[in-house]
Amino acid sequence: MGLLDGKKALITGARKGIGRGIALTLANEGADVGVNDIVDDEVSQRAAELIAKRGVKGTFHPGDVSTVAGINAVIDSFLEEHGQIDILVNNAIFPDQSRSLFDTDEAFWDRMMDLSL
């Protein structure tokens, strides 16, 4: 019996890396997990498969969570599959988000805030 049995978790930016690690950890504790990423490929599908191999429901919900329409589409897709959201982890980033503060212009800053908040 896991700490999160029956909970429903949605993880953004969970195609690989830290997001996938978080998703698998929650699945190991019994949560049904939906993973999101803007990239819809075999790697993204594999994340959902790895979750399901842990005996819980694993689903993939592609979409751009830096836009209101994208957020709504991902949430609607998740709710259709899982019914509710108990845990939300906002982990999505832009690939070039690690640039120096001195190399960050206002447009890039706004783009990061749209995604991160």
pLDDT digits (tens, 9 = 90+) for 4-54: 999 999 999 999 999 999 999 999 999 999 999 999 899 989 999 999 999
**pLDDT for the residue 65:** 92
Q: Which long-range contacts (CB under 8 A, 24 or more apart) does 104-108 make?
A: none
pLDDT in tens, 70-80: 999 999 999 99
**Structural domain harbouring 57:** 8-116
Let me know if residue 57 belongs to a domain: yes
Q: Is the dihedral of CA 76, 80, 81, 82 positive or negative?
A: positive
Q: What is the CATH number of the domain that holds 29?
A: 3.40.50.720
Number of domains in the chain: 1
| Polymer length of the chain | 117
Let me know if residue 1 belongs to a domain: no
Let me know if residue 75 belongs to a domain: yes
Let me know if residue 3 belongs to a domain: no
**pLDDT for the residue 25:** 98
Q: Is there a contact between 29 and 3 (Cβ–Cβ < 8 Å)?
A: yes
Let me know if residue 44 belongs to a domain: yes
**pLDDT for the residue 112:** 76
Three-state secondary structure call for residue 69:
helix
**pLDDT for the residue 92:** 87
For the CA atoms of the chain, what is the radius of gyration?
Answer: 15
Let me know if residue 103 belongs to a domain: yes
Please state the pTM of the whole predicted model: 0.86
